[in-house]
Amino acid sequence: MKAFFLVMMLTFSGVTGAGSYVFINQQQGSSISVYDGQNMRLLRSIPALEGPAGIAIDVENDWLAVSYPEQGMISFIDSRRLIPLEHIAVGGSPFGLAIAAGKLFYGDWNGGFAGVVDPADGRLLKKIPVGQSPAGLVAVTERDLVLVLNRESDSISVIDASTLQRLKNIPVGKAPFALDHDGRYAYVVNSTSNDLSVIDLDRLIEIRRIATGRMPYGVALDCSGHRLYVSNQLENTVSVIDTVKGRITETMNTGAYPENIALDQDNRRLYVLNWLDATLSIFDTRNHNLLQTVELEEGSRAFGRFVLSNR
């Protein structure tokens, strides 16, 4: 299989010209679809293993990682040339991914730990005990931290990205699944308590709860830190939350069962991946009008930050 990936590197030529890339995992298949973020033209279908799920992008070094929970594998992809590079066997059920301090962190859904991989050689550096069913991971580069959401433990594990030590477990709402941050605060969606936990990253404590829609799943914070978008699976909506006022100010209708969401670098477009009807809803964040609904393949999913600026 390694030889296959090396051959693909030599065979494919690069793709240029797109302002941003949108990466969509074909979880019921074995590929990753790459779209032009402006016109949603399909640029390439990158060969992968079966059942890709989580995704993390290293913006500085032009690669991304994809997890395969059913395979116990992680793949690496060149995010500029859009070609597969290598894959490694980590075992277990790798799901959520994050990149911090030059290392790849993954949550093992069934194992209850965060694994740390050296992307230079694929070596497993450490397994750090966290809570049950680690889901979303995010790197807080300003603080050299990795935050791990433990869905079945209703908590966040805080990891020092350099020393690889777990610093603290923070209790949050029921079934936390995804989060975003601005360096000062982290915002955690709790999928069964239908709310959002606000975490003070100085004190590493929960300081506030904000009501969301039913079964929140994805979250994206704009660059101002004052506007938060949350997808609500059981309402087929995205809530717009004012983080200063601590309440929902607007609601946008999406496709069926919206899951992960992402903003482009300019914060002009919001991308919402709808699982049940296999569509992508794209909104203009200036007025929250629906710009486009894109038909995708069945089983399309992207757990993590799936939009990359190509500038």
Q: What is the DSSP letter of 142?
A: G
CATH at residue 242:
2.40.10.480
Q: Is the pTM of this model over 0.85?
A: yes
Query: Does the residue 248 lie in any domain?
Result: yes
Query: What three-state secondary structure class fits 121?
Result: coil
Confidence of residue 235 (pLDDT cuts 50, 70, 90): very high
Are 288 and 240 contacting, i.e. CB atoms less than 8 angstroms apart?
A: yes
Nearest-angstrom CA–CA distance, 182 and 285: 18
Query: Does the residue 208 lie in any domain?
Result: yes
Compute the mean pLDDT over every residue in the chain, rounded to the nearest whole number: 93
Query: Does the residue 236 lie in any domain?
Result: yes
Boundaries of domain holding 229 = 175-253
Q: What is the pLDDT of residue 309?
A: 85
Residue range 112-140, pLDDT digits in tens: 999 999 999 999 999 999 999 999 999 99
Work out how many domains the chain is built from and give that number: 1
Over 90: is that where the pLDDT of 12 sits?
Answer: no
Q: What does 286-300 look like in DSSP terms, one character per residue? A: TTTEEEEEEE--TTE
Q: What does 207-237 look like in DSSP terms, one character per residue? A: EEEEE-SSSEEEEEE-TTSSEEEEEETTTTE
Q: What is the pLDDT of residue 15?
A: 52
Residue range 203-221, pLDDT digits in tens: 999 999 999 999 999 999 9
To 5 degrees, how large is the angle CA 64–CA 69–CA 149? 80
Residue with structure tokens 């033209």?
41
Query: Does the residue 10 lie in any domain?
Result: no
Residue range 36-73, pLDDT digits in tens: 999 999 999 999 999 999 999 998 899 999 999 999 99
Are 133 and 153 contacting, i.e. CB atoms less than 8 angstroms apart?
A: yes
Query: Does the residue 244 lie in any domain?
Result: yes
Instruction: Tell me phi and psi for residue 163, to 5 degrees.
Output: -85, -15
Are 179 and 172 contacting, i.e. CB atoms less than 8 angstroms apart?
A: no
What number of other Cβ atoms are within 10 A of residue 293's Cβ?
15
Residue range 157-185, pLDDT digits in tens: 999 999 999 999 999 999 999 999 999 99
Query: Does the residue 210 lie in any domain?
Result: yes
Query: Does the residue 242 lie in any domain?
Result: yes
Over 60: is that where the pLDDT of 6 sits?
Answer: no
Query: Does the residue 42 lie in any domain?
Result: no
Q: Are strands 303-304 and 54-58 parallel, antiparallel or unpaired?
A: parallel
Q: Report CA-CA distances (Å) from 272 to 195, 220, 297, 298, 301.
A: 19, 10, 15, 15, 10
Q: Which of 135, 53, 52, 148 shows the shortest CA–CA distance to 100? A: 148
Residue range 252-288, pLDDT digits in tens: 999 999 999 999 989 999 999 999 999 999 999 999 9
